[in-house]
Structure 1
């Protein structure tokens, strides 16, 4: 019919589909019999991490006199094997301590090897207990191992080497902020490794396993 208007049909609404990148996969080599592995296991299970990263934890307790160097060499071997076999591990990490008053032997060699072979490091100075203490309060004074352990116990009341994972996971981002601030402070003061006491590179690992994948749609 002349003059009759054509009816406009609305376009169908397209459902927006979210796109999520695959989770990152990390293999983490660490020292310690309880504290470090228990913390990393709690991190692996944490909901903020679980959807972002798949974390494989490997603990090395042998060769205590040269643990950092041994851990880095193990990570290099694992990375080379993954490359040969076209494995899907995105990053290889080593978690270890400096130790005071007597530093671990082979520290500088361990750092150099890691850098040359794309192994990521999360080094705590003097020890992992400093990283744990940072979950509760900032600390900027030099510590030896015993002082760091007492400081940690003063915050969480733990008398043995274990830890309550849920308590620490709730505070991990605060600890990461404090550790990052310490890193910047040492850089301003020209305090290079291993004289950057107190410090912890664990904030770098936290940033990696909690960075949210991009979404689109």
Structure 2
């Protein structure tokens, strides 16, 4: 899995749509969630989830390698590069977060980072949250609202989609709060998942 290459794409009429390549940390939750959004907007956007899984820095390293390979192939007339490449990961207790952010910024890789975890993003669909919380609390609260754990069933996914506007506003309000009080980038609680979802919804 670690040596996997991005899926080979055929250049067809589908290439007229915006194409996003996403590297995600989790094996179930993130892929299921993003795929559900992508299916709803497949007339305008194609979202490919790379099969590689790893920590934040490893994800960004693979994203950078994929982008360089993609651009090299495009110069040789073999397809066109992805319009956007994203990495989706949690802060959790991962090392090398700053190195991952720095590498992504230098190589124009977009990030959707949640602190402490993606369940915080799900929680924001139901309520504002300004106080610090750990991943266990975030997971417990999200599970209580959704009736689902790591494997999001169809009802949970539809519930999240129906509440996306509220979640986006709450995530933005958290960012404004952190900026206003001088909190560090990506402070707990917070999530940038709204940006990637917005790119899919408004491609």
Give TM-score, length-normalised by structure 2: 0.84
Two-structure CA RMSD over aligned residues (Å): 1.6
Q: Greater relative contact order: 1 or 2 (C-alpha under 8 angstroms, separation 6 or more)?
A: 1
In the alignment, which residue of structure 2 is the partner of 1:127? 117
C-alpha distance in structure 1 between counterparts of 2:123 and 2:174, whole Å: 13
In the alignment, which residue of structure 2 is the partner of 1:210? 201
What are the residue-to-residue correspondences of 1:25-64 with 2, within 5 Å?
Answer: 25-46=19-40, 49-62=41-54
What are the residue-to-residue correspondences of 1:12-161 with 2, within 5 Å?
Answer: 22-46=16-40, 49-62=41-54, 67-86=55-74, 87-99=80-92, 103-158=93-148, 160-161=149-150
C-alpha distance in structure 1 between counterparts of 2:43 and 2:126, whole Å: 26
Structure number, greater radius of gyration: 1
C-alpha distance in structure 2 between counterparts of 1:202 and 1:23, whole Å: 21
Q: Which blocks of at least 5 consecutive residues in structure 1 are unaligned?
A: 1-20, 213-217
Q: Relative to total residues, which structure has the larger helix share, 1 or 2?
A: 2
In the alignment, which residue of structure 2 is the partner of 1:7? none
C-alpha distance in structure 2 between counterparts of 1:173 and 1:206, whole Å: 11
Give TM-score, length-normalised by structure 1: 0.79
C-alpha distance in structure 1 between counterparts of 2:44 and 2:181, whole Å: 35
How far is 1:74 from its partner? 0.6
C-alpha distance in structure 2 between counterparts of 1:182 and 1:146, whole Å: 20
